Amino acid sequence: MSSGIVILVSLLYLAVLFGVAYWGEYRTRKGKSPVTNPYIYALSMAVYCTAWTFYGSVGRVVTNSIEFLSVYIGPTLAAPLWWILMRKIIRICKVQRITSISDFISSRYGKDISLGAVVAVVTILGIIPYISLQLKAITTSFATLTRAQQDSTFLGDLSLYIAVGLAFFTVLFGTRKLEATERHEGMVTAVAFESIIKLLAFLAAGVFVTYGVFDGFGDITLRASQLPSLNSLFSIPTNGGHSTWFWHTLLSFFAILFLPRQFQVSVVENVNEDHLRKGMWLFPLYLFIINIFVVPIAFGGTILLGSSTDADSYVLAIPLHFDQKILALFVYIGGFSAATSMIIVETIALSIMLTNSLVMPVLARNPQWLSSLNMARFVAQSRRLGIIMIILLAYLYYRYLGNIASLVSLGLVSFAAVSQFAPATLAGLFWKGATRRGALAGIIVGFVVWFYTLVFPTIVGGQQQISDILVHGPWGIEWLNPLSLFGFTEFDNLSHAVFWSLLLNTGAFVGVSLYTRQTSIEHNQAVLFVDIFKYSTVSESSIVWRGTAYIPDLSSLLAQFMGKTRAERVLSLYALRHGINSKNQQADPRLVNYAEKLLAGIVGAASARVMVASVSKEERISIEEMVDILKSSQEIMSINKELTRKSQQLEEATRQLKEANEQLQRADKLKDDFLSTVTHELRTPLTSIRALSEILHDNPDLERDEQEHFLNTIIRESERLSRLINQVLDLEKYESGKQSLRREEVLIDDIIQEVLESLRHLADEKKIRIQQTSDPYIPVIGADRDKLLQVVYNLVSNAIKYCPPQKGEINITTFHIESNAVVSVMDNGNGIAPEYQQLIFNRFYQAEAQSVRKPKGSGLGLAISKKIIELHGGKIWVESQVNKGAKFTFTLPTLPE
């Protein structure tokens, strides 16, 4: 294929890419950003798959069997934890306006500048080789497609052109606007598009090889098993192979989080935490699908092309071998797409780190430069410069440190580099005690070990003399041998390096953290990070800043980055929303905090802090005070809640008290009424007794008959009096619960008989007929005999009293139902009006209606009867209508058989 066509197609593709990005930004401006789609988010994460995935995996199979898969299983194992880890990180970044890993780590440990700088340097040094790889892949695939000579000068020139082109393209992509959140919707859309392209291209190649050239997976396996070189690849070599798998998995586990491009797309570019729900399984699914055909292509390539072609190029070489030009072109574009997406995102992310963590802090320390530059332009320019510089460095690395090993192993070296951030970051999310010095120590130690064990040997390995070190160690010190530190020879080179670097990193980190103290701002940040979910809603109130700052100063600082009008507008909007009086010249701490946050989104937290500090006078604040402030803001919220709860309780209690008071008043009145009734009742017989006694006294010579008559009356009235008093006392006993029952087995019919006996003469006097219907099967009742007699006596005597003479009729019925005996006493007297039917059982009468008095003469009998029945566990009531008689019924529980 002619190189002209390939170049043309490549440029066309870049144009399409740019169009997609432009479309993405256009839609965002219209408010219908593609980035709000969770599928776009998940696809953007697939930028993880670079030319390494596209070409390198196949190459790796031939040398190391299925070990390559560990790099994709690691992220899948990490994905479930995203919901916990990444959600926390995303929330923190949103609240603190963090836009890169260096900013994150620096921010966590007190917005420390040196830490941010170290992280930025480590990342840049670690990732540049990785970028070179992509350049190499593009160049090689170009050469393969055009079947050009593969001499180094030609390839070198080609790669230069490619590098320049990509730099230009990336600059266009990533630095067009200066947003406070570093969101690049266009870039994300383009990356998602590229992910689809590379997936389709690879699948096309895979399907072609598996089903076009061969007859499916089984066929390939069969053919492969016949080649000893391939047959041995069905399993992983066990010498050291065990640990290699594990360490590679671990590395990719960290890489999915700490690679700059991954951090950029999954954290910084995230618009909705909820997207994680889909991303957690969509992204692993993508990895799964793109890896299905790797092995078939590898095996197929070996079978078809043998060792004449580099295994890394099989994906392209096989279609070319069968003269499938279109497919080959498509595959080339797929690989091209994989490489360019990596370069674009990675470089943008790195340039952000470069600017925010290395350039801006210098500027912030020298505020006099601030005013002389147009900050907005300056930041944008430094970003562009950063991008160009990084790609240039990558090109130089490729050109002159040319002995690049396979795509895969160099990629893993980059993984190992960014993994050095794992202890400081992951522990920092959960352990408030992690200190800045600890993080610094850990990362530096880790980086040094990484460099010494992984990079140094490759630099030195080519030169014969110095490669002595690799065999005997520096200055002959065996246990400092970079390839086998402390004599550890079990692992392969990479695993060995990862083990030692992470071990010493973590050790230094934890050790130093435990022995150093935090400053107050460190502690503040630690709490804000670890407890982010508690504070993200009160982030504005958890201000720990004391000092004086003036609004005009803040405003002009912001103006340098976002223009005067915008700065003023943004500040006054904030003040309005939070009820801050912006008329004061002096700025409310919340406003200062907000300004710092806005700035952090543009230049990084550390620089922002320094800049704001330079325009304000901050007071030093001790950790105790800081902790107190944080705690008190929490306390205020909970106190508030308590207060509302308590006041509600108070209302309730007041209401209950009022009710109780009313009840007491009513009871009091009722008591008064009772007293007056009773005294009245008591006085009547007393009056007669006295009157009659006086008569007897004054008239000693009364006739004997008359004397007897009077004496009888006196006796009768005394009896009546004592009866009444007994009743009152009785009732009091019932009321106060002091009455006890002497229960025995009683037959209700016996009771009724007895009562009728004693009242027979009264009934006969008034010529009243009494009828009794009884249920022979009523079981025994457990009751106090005397008291029950009292009740029945009371009811029957009442009935007799109220029956009309001559034609009075009384019916006494008994029956039993379920576990109760029911007794009714019915008369045909005057009846009882409805309003009295409750009253008659009370010992009181309602005071409100004075005219309503208890029906005369019934005394306290019914009240006592009710008490007795209720004490036995029964009920008593009356049914009656005026002039139609009354029916009194009571129930008593029967003894179980």
Partner 1 sequence: MNEKRTEQRLLMASLLFGLLLNYPILSIFNSNRLLFGLPQLYVYLFVTWGVLILLIYRIASNIQPPKDHSNE
Of 134 and 593, the one with the shorter C-beta distance to partner 1 is: 593
- Among 35, 69, 89, 714, contact with partner 1 (rule: CB under 8 A): 69
Cβ contact 436:109 at 8 Å? yes
Report CA Rg, the chain: 50
Q: Is 257 in the site for partner 1 (CB under 8 A)?
A: no
- Among 277, 321, 590, 733, contact with partner 1 (rule: CB under 8 A): 277
Using the rule CB under 8 A, give the single segment among 268-276, 411-419, 510-518, 617-625 that binds partner 1.
Answer: 268-276
- For residue 61, what are its two tokens? 């199979």
Residue 849 and residue 847: Cα distance in Å, rounded?
6
Q: Is 778 in the site for partner 1 (CB under 8 A)?
A: no
- For residue 413, what are its two tokens? 């070296």
| Plot region of 186 (φ>0 → left; ψ -120 to 50 → alpha; else → beta) | alpha
Q: Is 229 in the site for partner 1 (CB under 8 A)?
A: no
Q: Is 78 in the site for partner 1 (CB under 8 A)?
A: yes
- Among 212, 273, 393, 741, contact with partner 1 (rule: CB under 8 A): 273
CA angle 751, 756, 761 (to 5 degrees): 155
Q: Is 532 in the site for partner 1 (CB under 8 A)?
A: no
Question: Shortest Cβ distance from residue 69 to partner 1 (Å)?
Answer: 6
Spell 591-627 as b/e; 16+ CB within 10 A means b: bbbbbbbbbbbbbbbbbbbbbbbbbbebeebebeebe
For the chain, the 3-state helix, strand and coil shares in percent, each to the nearest 5, are 75, 5, 20
Using the rule CB under 8 A, give the single segment among 42-50, 78-86, 576-584, 865-873 that binds partner 1.
Answer: 78-86
Q: Which residues pair with 586 in a beta bridge?
A: 550
Using alpha carbons, list the distances in angstroms from residue 703 to 130, 695, 706: 142, 12, 5
Pairing of strands 769-773, 886-893: unpaired
**Interface characters, 446-465, with partner 1 (x: CB under 8 A):** --------------------
Cβ contact 532:545 at 8 Å? no
Q: Is 77 in the site for partner 1 (CB under 8 A)?
A: yes
Q: Is 7 in the site for partner 1 (CB under 8 A)?
A: no
Question: Shortest Cβ distance from residue 574 to partner 1 (Å)?
Answer: 10
Using alpha carbons, list the distances in angstroms from residue 509 to 48, 414, 427, 632: 28, 21, 10, 31
Q: Find, among 341, 268, 333, the residue nearest to 48 by Cα.
A: 341
Q: Is 623 in the site for partner 1 (CB under 8 A)?
A: no
Of 235 and 753, the one with the shorter C-beta distance to partner 1 is: 235
Spell 748-764 as b/e; 16+ CB within 10 A means b: bbebbeebbeebeeebe
Using the rule CB under 8 A, give the single segment among 87-95, 319-327, 667-675, 836-844 that binds partner 1.
Answer: 87-95
Q: How many angstroms from the chain centroid is the CA of residue 571? A: 31
* Contact set for partner 1, span 535-554 (CB under 8 A): 536-537, 539
Q: How many angstroms from the chain centroid is the CA of residue 805? A: 85
Q: Is 48 in the site for partner 1 (CB under 8 A)?
A: no
Q: Which residues pair with 890 in a beta bridge?
A: 823, 876
Cβ contact 27:188 at 8 Å? no
Q: Is 281 in the site for partner 1 (CB under 8 A)?
A: yes
Of 97 and 787, the one with the shorter C-beta distance to partner 1 is: 97
CA angle 246, 250, 255 (to 5 degrees): 145
- Among 94, 111, 866, 872, contact with partner 1 (rule: CB under 8 A): 94
Q: Is 238 in the site for partner 1 (CB under 8 A)?
A: yes
Q: Is 664 in the site for partner 1 (CB under 8 A)?
A: no
Question: Shortest Cβ distance from residue 96 to partner 1 (Å)?
Answer: 10
- Among 1, 9, 66, 895, contact with partner 1 (rule: CB under 8 A): 66
- Among 274, 651, 659, 835, contact with partner 1 (rule: CB under 8 A): 274
Using the rule CB under 8 A, give the single segment among 245-253, 324-332, 508-516, 673-681 that binds partner 1.
Answer: 245-253
Of 53 and 518, the one with the shorter C-beta distance to partner 1 is: 53
Using the rule CB under 8 A, give the single segment among 226-234, 626-634, 663-671, 826-834 that binds partner 1.
Answer: 226-234
Of 114 and 539, the one with the shorter C-beta distance to partner 1 is: 539
Spell 667-689 as b/e; 16+ CB within 10 A means b: eeebeebbeebbeebeeebeebb
Of 492 and 784, the one with the shorter C-beta distance to partner 1 is: 492
Of 155 and 251, the one with the shorter C-beta distance to partner 1 is: 251
Pairing of strands 769-773, 809-817: parallel
- Among 222, 503, 636, 664, contact with partner 1 (rule: CB under 8 A): 222
Question: Shortest Cβ distance from residue 213 to partner 1 (Å)?
Answer: 17
Question: Shortest Cβ distance from residue 81 to partner 1 (Å)?
Answer: 5
Of 18 and 83, the one with the shorter C-beta distance to partner 1 is: 83
Cβ contact 187:349 at 8 Å? no
Using the rule CB under 8 A, give the single segment among 347-355, 366-374, 533-541, 632-640 that binds partner 1.
Answer: 533-541
Question: Shortest Cβ distance from residue 516 to partner 1 (Å)?
Answer: 31
DSSP string computed for 44-61: HHGGG--HIIIIIHHHHH
Of 191 and 295, the one with the shorter C-beta distance to partner 1 is: 295
- Among 4, 31, 218, 700, contact with partner 1 (rule: CB under 8 A): 218
- Among 42, 43, 71, 79, contact with partner 1 (rule: CB under 8 A): 79
- Among 2, 150, 229, 235, contact with partner 1 (rule: CB under 8 A): 235
Of 536 and 813, the one with the shorter C-beta distance to partner 1 is: 536
Q: Is 750 in the site for partner 1 (CB under 8 A)?
A: no
Residue 485 and residue 445: Cα distance in Å, rounded?
14
Q: Is 605 in the site for partner 1 (CB under 8 A)?
A: no
Residue count, binding to partner 1 (CB under 8 A): 46
Q: Find, among 326, 333, 246, 331, the residue nearest to 14 by Cα.
A: 333
Q: Find, among 80, 334, 101, 94, the residue nearest to 207 by Cα.
A: 334
Question: Shortest Cβ distance from residue 314 to partner 1 (Å)?
Answer: 17
Q: Which amino acid is at 815?
A: F
- Among 5, 81, 643, 715, contact with partner 1 (rule: CB under 8 A): 81
Residue 411 and residue 130: Cα distance in Å, rounded?
6
Question: Shortest Cβ distance from residue 363 to partner 1 (Å)?
Answer: 26
Of 231 and 644, the one with the shorter C-beta distance to partner 1 is: 231
Cβ contact 882:804 at 8 Å? no
Pairing of strands 769-773, 781-783: unpaired
Residue 497 and residue 515: Cα distance in Å, rounded?
27
- Among 295, 329, 339, 878, contact with partner 1 (rule: CB under 8 A): 295
Of 223 and 733, the one with the shorter C-beta distance to partner 1 is: 223
Of 81 and 639, the one with the shorter C-beta distance to partner 1 is: 81
The 3-class SS string of 509-566 reads HHHHHHHCCCCHHHHHHHHHHHCHHHHCCCCCCCCCCCEEEEHHHHHHHHHHHHCHHH
Question: Shortest Cβ distance from residue 415 to partner 1 (Å)?
Answer: 17
Question: Shortest Cβ distance from residue 550 to partner 1 (Å)?
Answer: 24
- Among 92, 95, 352, 600, contact with partner 1 (rule: CB under 8 A): 95
Site residues, partner 1 (CB under 8 A)? 66, 69, 73, 76-81, 83-84, 91, 94-95, 97, 217-218, 221-222, 225, 231-232, 234-236, 238, 242, 245-246, 249, 271, 273-274, 277-278, 280-281, 284-285, 288, 292, 295, 536-537, 539, 597
